[in-house]
Amino acid sequence: MTFVIGAACVDVMDRACVDECPADCIYVGERMAYINPEECIDCSACEPVCPVEAITMEEDVAPDEAVFVTENARFFSDILPGRAEPLGSPGGAAGLGPVGVDTPFVQGYTAP
């Protein structure tokens, strides 16, 4: 299993998790950050530093947040708006820098 970033991150992006992640697997979109499920080492270092408690182990994601499991994966597997190919596993967020775009779901997301 991997960790997932959920709705609480949308439009907050404190980035403490990015600084704490030893695997460098947390990538920054426009409205939220995403954990690459292929690069996450399940160390849990990111979870306690998130000030809005947006990070959860995939198996513990609440039913109303389940869509964010899919969206975290889609950020890496689908072609994002304005890009020519999927991100895949670039091998680290620091070298790539902020991606500056989100999945279409997150782009249009409005908190309930």
Domain map (residue ranges) of the chain: 3-92
State the Cα–Cα distance between residues 100 and 40, nearest whole angstrom: 21
The confidence score (pLDDT) of residue 75 equals: 98
- What beta strand segments (E) does the chain contain? 3-5, 26-28, 33-35, 55-57
Residue 88, C-beta contacts closer than 8 angstroms, at least 6 positions apart:
76, 77
Residue range 81-103: average pLDDT? 94
**For residue 112, what pLDDT band results from cuts at 50, 70 and 90?**
confident
Question: What topology does CATH give the domain 3-92?
Answer: Alpha-Beta Plaits (3.30.70)
The confidence score (pLDDT) of residue 13 equals: 82
pTM (2 d.p.): 0.95
**For residue 1, what pLDDT band results from cuts at 50, 70 and 90?**
low
H or E stretch covering 106: helix 104-107
**For residue 96, is pLDDT > 80?**
yes
Residue range 79-83: average pLDDT? 94
State the Cα–Cα distance between residues 107 and 99, nearest whole angstrom: 13
Render 4-61 in DSSP notation, one character per residue.
Answer: EE-GGGTTT---HHHHH-TT--EEE-SS-EEE-TTT-----SSGGG-TT--EEEGGG-
18-50 pLDDT tens trace: 999 999 999 999 999 999 999 999 999 999 999
The token duo for 38 is 């292929």
Specify which residues 56 forms β-bridges with: 4
